């Protein structure tokens, strides 16, 4: 329950509003922010939950003319132009600018908690049909996918089309140059190294795109008797290890723009170029996306010549950590299994297998964007937890 408001007053000649709560805590709100977020019908379109106030009309130096406590659950403000605004206590408390309140809001909106793992991974498993039919199971799947980075869905029909159903369950799939879904199997004149029987080293998919797909689905339709094992490694865990072990290598990989290329024909013809840092970091220096695919890393390398060897040395150390036995987890998909994983975090690979006169191993793949996945997760959280 949100505590009631004990007292409200203007500070700093009217540039701030301080709220004292009945539980003894305090919150301070800048007046420019309060005016910007007035909830009246003139300033806010409630049917769209969107701001109507035009920014050019906002006075960034605005002060309050008067602030009053209407009751314990609401404050009222009159502005210099006589415009009136009201703010509910619950609305204000959620948007408190304290570090604790902001951390709580980040947790609620983005679920930033991560569970790191190595070869000791206990691969989370959920039946496919439960995900398709039960909101609580779908919510559990998406929460675990966000936290751990990988979940195995079991018991799907071993035929093409199941990933389209899964896409509809969360919203929609991501269309790429390889189609809405794509078939991973041995192909003559393959336009992708995945469409061979050879070993695939650890990689993330599609760093050649400005916005690589956030989530990947791989559905096993047919599996070879020998070989073809799947391998995964936690890229965020490895990044943390590298940052501790060799900060300079981490700095190089998180600051050097690497060229990627992909040219060919599939869903349509394509010629894609992009620059990505191997380790993308946020403002705090924490890894938020891995962009590493040795197959599509370009021969063009747009950096000063004296920086080339240090980059290779840093990448070699990163790659050695990826391939360390203590960090990688190996498993073998069975027909009907669908592995779902965070393509910004989890690097995946495959052991080689023998080719035959007919297709011996067949996976169907698809992508979804994190925006779509997180949207569904938030909606399910509200429904499952009965939140307002």
Tens-binned pLDDT, residue by residue, of the chain (388 aa): 889 999 999 998 999 999 999 999 999 999 999 999 999 999 999 999 999 999 999 999 999 999 999 889 999 999 999 999 999 999 999 999 999 999 999 999 999 999 999 999 999 999 999 999 999 999 999 999 999 999 999 999 999 999 999 999 999 999 999 999 999 998 888 889 889 999 999 999 999 999 999 999 999 999 999 999 999 999 999 999 999 999 999 999 999 999 999 999 999 999 999 999 999 999 999 999 999 999 999 999 999 999 999 999 999 999 999 999 999 999 999 999 999 999 999 999 999 998 888 889 999 999 999 999 999 999 999 999 986 5
List for the chain the helix, strand, coil content (%; round to 5). 30, 30, 40
- Count Cβ neighbours within 10 Å for each residue of 135-160 and write b for 16 or more, e otherwise: eebbbbbbbbbbebbbbbbeebebee
3-class secondary-structure state, position 260: strand
Nearest to 163 by CA among 135, 182, 176: 182
The domain made up of 5-110 is a member of CATH 3.30.2020.30: yes
The pLDDT, as a whole number, for residue 194 is 87
230-234 and 257-265 strand pairing: unpaired
From residue 111, give the alpha-carbon distance in Å to each of 46, 142, 148, 350.
26, 11, 11, 30
The pLDDT, as a whole number, for residue 4 is 95
Q: How far apart are CA 138 and CA 165, in angstroms?
A: 13
50-51 and 66-71 strand pairing: unpaired
The pLDDT, as a whole number, for residue 388 is 56
Residue-range domain boundaries for the chain: 5-110, 125-385
The pLDDT, as a whole number, for residue 387 is 65
User: What share of the chain in percent tops pLDDT 70?
Assistant: 99
Q: Which positions ≥6 away from 278 have C-beta within 8 Å? A: 253, 254, 256, 258, 290, 291, 292, 315, 318
The pLDDT, as a whole number, for residue 233 is 98
Q: Is 0.75 surpassed by the pTM of this model?
A: yes
Give φ, ψ of 87 to 5 degrees: -135, 125
Contact 68, 21 (CB under 8 A): no
The domain made up of 125-385 is a member of CATH 6.10.140.120: no
For residue 270, the cross-strand partners are 264
For residue 259, the cross-strand partners are 275
Q: How far apart are CA 147 and CA 342, in angstroms?
A: 10
Q: How far apart are CA 176 and CA 296, in angstroms?
A: 16
Largest Cα separation within the chain, whole Å, is: 83
The 3 state secondary structure assigned to 272-289 is: EEEEEECEEECCCCCEEE
């Amino acid at each position: 329950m949100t505590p009631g408001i004990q007292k409200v007053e203007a500070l700093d000649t009217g540039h701030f509003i301080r709220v004292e709560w009945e539980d003894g805590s305090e919150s301070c709100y800048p007046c420019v922010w309060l005016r910007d977020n007035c909830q009246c019908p003139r300033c806010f379109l409630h049917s769209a939950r969107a701001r109507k106030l035009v920014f050019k009309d906002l006075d960034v130096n605005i002060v309050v003319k008067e602030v009053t406590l209407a009751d314990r659950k609401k404050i009222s403000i009159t502005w210099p132009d006589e415009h009136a605004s009201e703010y509910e206590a619950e609305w204000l408390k959620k948007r408190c600018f304290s570090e604790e309140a902001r951390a709580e809001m980040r947790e609620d909106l983005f679920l930033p908690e991560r569970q790191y793992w190595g070869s000791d991974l206990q691969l989370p498993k959920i039946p496919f049909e439960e995900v398709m039919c039960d909101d609580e199971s779908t919510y559990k799947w998406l929460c675990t996918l966000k936290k751990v980075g990988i979940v195995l869905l079991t018991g799907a029909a071993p035929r093409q089309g199941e990933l389209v159903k899964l896409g509809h369950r969360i919203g929609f799939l991501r269309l790429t140059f390889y189609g809405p879904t794509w078939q991973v199997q041995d192909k003559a004149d393959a336009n992708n190294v995945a469409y061979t029987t050879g070993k695939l080293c650890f990689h993330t998919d599609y760093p050649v795109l400005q916005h690589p797909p956030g989530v990947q689905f791989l559905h096993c339709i047919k599996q070879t008797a020998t070989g073809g094992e799947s391998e995964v490694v936690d890229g965020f865990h490895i990044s943390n290890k590298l940052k501790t072990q060799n900060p300079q290598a981490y700095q190089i990989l998180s600051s050097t723009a690497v060229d990627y290329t992909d040219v060919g024909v599939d869903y349509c013809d394509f010629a894609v170029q992009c620059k990505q840092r191997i380790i993308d970091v946020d403002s705090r220096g924490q890894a938020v996306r891995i962009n590493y695919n040795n197959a599509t890393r370009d021969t063009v390398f747009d950096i000063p010549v004296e920086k080339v060897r240090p980059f290779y040395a840093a990448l070699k150390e990163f790659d050695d950590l990826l391939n360390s036995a203590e960090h990688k987890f190996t498993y073998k998909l069975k027909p009907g299994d669908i592995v779902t994983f965070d393509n910004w975090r989890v690097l995946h690979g495959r052991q080689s297998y023998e080719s035959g006169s007919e297709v011996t191993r067949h996976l169907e793949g698809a992508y979804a964007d994190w925006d779509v996945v997180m949207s569904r997760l938030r909606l399910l959280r509200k429904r499952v937890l009965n939140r307002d």
